[in-house]
Structures are given as structure tokens and as C-alpha cells.
Chain A
Amino acid sequence: EIVLTQSPATRSLSPGDTATLSCRANQSVSSTTLAWYQQKPGQAPRLLIYGATSRATGIPDRFTGRGSGTDFTLTITRLQPEDFAVYYCQHYGRSLMYTFGQGTKLEIK
């Protein structure tokens, strides 16, 4: 069973800063199986990144996904006020099951 651990749990930054969020899998996974979502309070999640590095439709290039094996990151440059939210990584693999990380809350400092 794939377990995803995100860190940090909370990150406090200012608008204009760069955020780097981490997602670690307990075993190596294919990059094609890793995605990132953004969720704002009271809203549904929004797909940001799929296949570890590909931006979903309409996602600005301030959002960059990287990584391979067990370690993946989501980097958000030039933080905008609307970027402060909770971010989840997600895996879907050969088991045909989905797993979410526990989330990282990005808050305004």
C-alpha cells in the first residue's frame, strides 16, 4: 500500500515568496502516478499537476511539479494571495486505488 507523507504540515509565507511543498511516498512510484491538488476553504479540490510535472488546463506557470521515485515537490513562485490554501498530493497506481497525502496548509505570514 502506498502511503504519501507531506511536509511541512503548515507553511507560513508572504505574498511574493516562493513555496516548496514536499510529498514523499513510502515506496518508489512512477512519476505518471503522482498529482497535486489545491483546495480552498469551502471549495472542492482543484487539479494542479498530473504526471508529477504536467500542469492542468489553466494552471499558471508559477506552479511547478518535480520529482521521481519517492520524492516529489510542488513549487509555487511569486505567491499570490489566492495561492494560500491547502495542497494535497495524490497517487494512483497498479492497485487501481487512490491515495492522498494528509495535506500542507500554505498560510499568509
Chain B
Amino acid sequence: QVQLIQSGPEVMKPGASVKVSCKASGYVFGTYGINWVRQAPGQGLEWLGWISAFNDKTKYAQIVQDRVTLTTDRSTNTAYMELRSLRSDDTAVYFCSRRVPENYYTLDVWGLGTTVTVSS
């Protein structure tokens, strides 16, 4: 079945960078895009950006566009989200999800999330 397997939890210092991975299986990776969404403790969902797994086209949310980079590795069917200059308010669960054109680009399959904690 279609799955997105994310990397494990991270504890980072302020100012550091973190790179979260999202490995896809069960479908042709290059057919769909990958979205990244985060959720701070007790808060709602916040969209960060998406990347086409076909041509690496990206779109970023304004709130993080200066600090985030999305990439893919089609040889391993893996998407990556790197967030730089971490701050305490970047502490959140980071989700990747599959972006499906035939469902009006909604997000039909999600990873379980990666907890990123930023603390000195």
C-alpha cells in the first residue's frame, strides 16, 4: 500500500539546521508531489511548502521561505525538508504528505510525522 515513512525525532539547538526525510513506497514516486505541513504543540496545521517529485518545482510558504529547502532523491524515492536557523517556535511535528492532482491537489496520504524540538 501507499506509505510515507518519515525519519525519527530530532532535538536541535537554536540556530542549527534540521533535515527531515520522507520515503515513499507503493506508488510511482515521480507521479505526485510532496507537501510539508507542521503542527506546533496544541496548535493547528501550518503549510510549509511542496515539491514536485517529477521536476523538483517548489513552492514555499512566506513564513519560512527564507529558511526552508525542499528536495527529492528519485533514486531512493525520498523527499527531504531542511529548515535552517532554527528557533524555539519551530518546535513542532513535521508531516509530509502526497499531493494528488486528480483530487484537486489535496493531500491523500500522510506520514506519521517527525517531532522536531528546538531547545538550548
Contacts and interface: CB of A to CB of B under 8 A. Distances in A.
A85 to B, nearest CB: 13
Given A98-B35, A100-B45, A100-B46, A35 B59 contact: no
Contacts of A88: 44-45
Contacts of A56: 103, 106, 108
Contacts of B112: 43-44
B106 A44 contact: no
Contact size class for B? 20 to 34
Given A46-B110, A98-B35, A32 B44 contact: no
B68 to A, nearest CB: 13
B105 A92 contact: yes
Nearest to B59: A96
A57 B46 CA distance: 24
A45 interface: yes
Nearest to B58: A96
Interface residues of A, number: 26
A103 B111 CA distance: 20
Nearest to B96: A44
A32 B37 CA distance: 21
A47 B106 contact: yes
Interface of B is mostly: strand
B106 A92 contact: yes
B95 A45 contact: yes
A28 interface: no
B107 to A, nearest CB: 6
A102 B44 contact: yes
Interface in A17-63: 32-33, 35, 37, 39, 43-47, 50-51, 54, 56-57
Contact of B104 (A35, A96, A99, A101): A35
A33 B45 contact: no
B110 A100 contact: no
Interface in A53-109: 54, 56-57, 88, 90, 92, 96-103
Interface centre among A90, A98, A101, A103 (most CB of B within 10 A): A98
